[in-house]
Amino acid sequence: MPDGGVVSLDWALLPSTVRDAKASLEERVDSSKKTVLVLPGLTGGSGEHYIRSAVERLNALGWQCVVLNSRGCQDTPLRTPHLFCIAYTDDLRYVARYLTDKYDFADEAFVGLGFSMGSNVLVKYLGEDGEQARLTAAISVGNPFNMPKCSENMEGPLFNRLTYSRVLSAGLRDLFFNRSNAHEVFRDYPGIDLEALKKVKKVSEFDELSTIKHFNYKSVDEFYQDGSCVTRLPKVSVPLLCLNAEDDPISVATSLPTKDEIEANENVILCTTKKGGHLAFYEGVYDEDDNAKIKPKLPRRKNVRRPLKVSQPTFQVSPPPALSSSSYQERNMSVAVKGVVRLRVMAGKASPSPAIGQALGPLGVNMMEFCKAFNERTSKITENIPVPVVLTAFSDRTFTFATKTPPSSWFLKKAAGITSGSATPGQQVVGTVHLRQIYEIAKVKQQDEMVDYIDLQSICKTLIGSAKSMGLDVVP
């Protein structure tokens, strides 16, 4: 970046372009293929489930994808005291220019796809640059069009303050102090109090103590007004499809553009669904293969270009390799997946046991490397807690793994002080659990992938149902 900052570009290429293992990334990128530039949500990157899910489906439809990981996100080092924010479009502008200049993509084949914060940045960029924008079309998913209204909803009602705002602010704190070197870069930055940042429990507090200072806004209100992409819709000059759920608790329905604002620009279509939450759109119950498969019926508009014909190759994505030091770090996500295994290992106690060996050996995974990485990741978790693990092994003998929280039944048995549930639920009561305990368990379970955007109230209802099925009474 011109200011010395760094973003990372993770590529997910089509199988036909990745067969030569010796070819450079530049040689594998096919400029004649339809290409999608993907922008993740707040603190997210190419490793997020909703990003990988979208990329896999796009690859299957013949689109190669490149994910823009913002400064400090997805193992991207922070080199300047300048993070990302919902109002900042310069990095996207430079990346779009860089990619189109370098690869000279085919006409009408370079499309932007943004999620949550990324969708707001995408639409804001399109409105700011108008006909000069380097994208030929765009899709916005879960866009918080009007930031003042979204903030008012998230931080007004008590339930929202204790759930959504607290979870999002925790994600910002985690990125700032644990998942990036931001706390080191901003240590001596004028006006930023790191100790105060560690205690924030609302997104607006984080923005007040950090964002507005290094982006030079006078107030959070000014920042949110400037960051609202709804005011840029009139200048969008390429086909733009916006998809939002009416029950989205973060990109709240009251923040959506009005009918007049949409119809004022013939390039823009807004499609809403009754259900879908924030970036979920489930078609099944807790089935990771069932989210983000929306099939809306769109009205015909003379300005909307016809869909491009697509082919059907298969594809899997993998984690990026180590970072380089350039301003645009291009990384290849396209290494074939060899297999996925699910394990349950005690926190901090992974060892090259027969059980782990039988699971990982056939995949060529180095057991010692896995055990070391797992124990480091779970070192702060209380001993004797079973940690579910989903490990993905790749053809180049590398691997990634995700840890989840213990099963709900484990938490409920601990809370009730029992070792097993009732053999005859509904007839035999084996213990009690308090609503306060249900709420605490829900907060922990919400940390899991695929559950992190489900509201706490819904998780609590599910836990209450699980408790009753185990023969537990739920009491105030």
Catalytic residues: 116, 248, 278
- Asked if 33 and 104 touch (Cβ cutoff 8 Å), the reply is no
Contacts for 368-376: CB closer than 8 Å, 24+ residues apart: 369/399, 370/399, 370/401, 373/401, 374/345, 374/350, 374/401, 374/403, 375/348, 375/349, 375/350
Cα–Cα separations (whole angstroms), residue 438 to 14, 163, 383: 45, 14, 22
Half-sphere exposure of 65 (CA within 13 A, CB side): 28
How far apart CA 476 and CA 472 sit, in angstroms, is 13
C-alpha dihedral sign at 168, 172, 173, 178: positive
- Asked if 108 and 137 touch (Cβ cutoff 8 Å), the reply is yes
Report the alpha-carbon angle 234-235-238, nearest 5.
Answer: 110
* β-strands 7-12, 64-69 pairing: antiparallel
DSSP annotation of 299: P
Half-sphere exposure of 265 (CA within 13 A, CB side): 24
How far apart CA 138 and CA 238 sit, in angstroms, is 7
How far apart CA 56 and CA 69 sit, in angstroms, is 17
Report residue 297 as tokens. Answer: 């019926």
DSSP annotation of 164: I
Give 346's strand partners.
386
Half-sphere exposure of 50 (CA within 13 A, CB side): 27
